[in-house]
Amino acid sequence: MNGTILCVGKLKESWQREGCAEYLKRLSRYGRYEIVAVDDEKDPERASPAQIEQAKDREGQALLRHVKPGDRVICLCIRADAPDSVALSRQLTQWSGDGRRNVFVIGGSNGLSEAVLRRADVRLSFSNLTFPHGLMRVILLEQLYRAERIRTGEPYHK
């Protein structure tokens, strides 16, 4: 399968960059995976709810500039179905057969804008917990790698 991870912000921690690089290398056996990051909006200290929404909207506009009309957009959200690894693998198998580009979207520290959520074809959760967006990149890549191994009948850790 091919996939794009579309996300907000640069990774500040070296271990996050190294983790992403490692899983991208592992995933290269199964298809073309890439990460596209847009700039995050800096919130003023003690930002009002309106300022936070404006920042999310600007990030959302930047994200949507990278989405093509035929793309399948998979937004990572807390309020969504959370499949297990086998179910995610089955879903990837289904998606890989239709020729659409799969774009997994990870929001910034304030989440995703309503415009991005409206564009989503699928909303996907990995947990009811909130994760830092840099860590979520590593988690998503690891789960995609695990799903690819399951999909191809290779062993994986349960």
What SS3 class is residue 99? coil
9-57 pLDDT tens trace: 999 999 999 999 999 999 999 999 999 999 999 887 888 999 999 999 9
Query: Which candidate, 105, 124, 126, 127, places its Cα nearest to that of 116?
Result: 105
Provide the number of structural domains found in the chain.
Answer: 1
- Token reading at 117: 């959520």
Q: Can you list the alpha helix ranges (DSSP code H) found in 65-152?
A: 85-96, 114-119, 133-151
CATH number of 101's domain = 3.40.1280.10
| Within a domain: 158 | no
| Within a domain: 96 | yes
| Within a domain: 156 | no
| Within a domain: 86 | yes
Give the span between the Cα atoms of 47 and 1, in whole angstroms: 40
Phi, psi angle pair for 41, to nearest 5°: -90, 130
Question: 20 lies in which domain range?
Answer: 3-40+50-151
52-103 pLDDT tens trace: 999 999 999 999 999 999 999 999 998 898 999 999 999 999 998 888 999 9
